[in-house]
Copies of this chain bind each other. A is one copy, B any other.
C-alpha cells in the first residue's frame, strides 16, 4: 500500500467530515417526525468513519494501478464527484434546512457512488467491494431524507 496516497484520499474526505461536525443536527432536526427505523444518533459518525476509511483504501488501490490500467482516470474522476456531493449534502440539509435540495443531492450522490463502484470494480474487484457498504448507507440515508421530507411537509422549503 502507498501510505501517502491513502492519506491524501483520507484527507480528501476531511471536508465532508467537517460539514458533518460543523452543520450538526440541532433542535430543528430533533423536532422533526422521523420513521421508526431511523438509525440511532451514535451510529452516524461511526458509520461515516468506517466509510471514509473504506473510500480512501479503495481509491489508493485503484490509484496504485495507474501506470497499468487506463480506467484509473475515470474511476478517480467519479471518486472526486462523489466526495464533492458528499460534502454538499450536510450544508444544504442541516445548514439551509432544504429537505428537497438534500434529496436531489442524495440522488446524484447515489448515482456517483454507484458509478465509482462499477468503475473501480473493473480496475480491482476488491476496491469495488469496498464501496458496497457506502452504497448501502447512501440508500438508507436517501430513504431517511425522503421519509423525513414526507413526514414533515410543513417544514419543507422553510429557511433556517
Query: When the two chains form their complex, are residues B15 and A88 in contact, meaning their CB atoms are under 8 A apart?
Result: yes
Chain B proximity of A110: nearest CB distance (Å)? 14
Query: When the two chains form their complex, are residues A72 and B66 in contact, meaning their CB atoms are under 8 A apart?
Result: yes
Chain B proximity of A41: nearest CB distance (Å)? 21
Query: When the two chains form their complex, are residues B80 and A76 in contact, meaning their CB atoms are under 8 A apart?
Result: yes
With an 8 Å Cβ cutoff, the count of chain A residues facing the other chain is: 49
Given known contacts A67-B67, A96-B22, A96-B95, is B87 in contact with A15 (CB within 8 Å)? Answer: yes
Within 8 A of B (CB), among A70-88: 70-74, 76-81, 83-85, 87-88
Which residues of chain B are within 8 angstroms of A130 by Cβ–Cβ distance?
none
Which residues of chain B are within 8 angstroms of A11 by Cβ–Cβ distance?
81
Query: When the two chains form their complex, are residues B76 and A19 in contact, meaning their CB atoms are under 8 A apart?
Result: no
Which residues of chain B are within 8 angstroms of A85 by Cβ–Cβ distance?
14-15
A 30-74 binary contact with B (CB < 8 Å = 1; else 0): 000000000000000000000000000001101111111111111
Binding site for B on A (CB under 8 A): 2, 4-5, 8-9, 11-16, 18-19, 22-23, 59-60, 62-74, 76-81, 83-85, 87-88, 91-92, 95-96, 98, 101, 105, 160
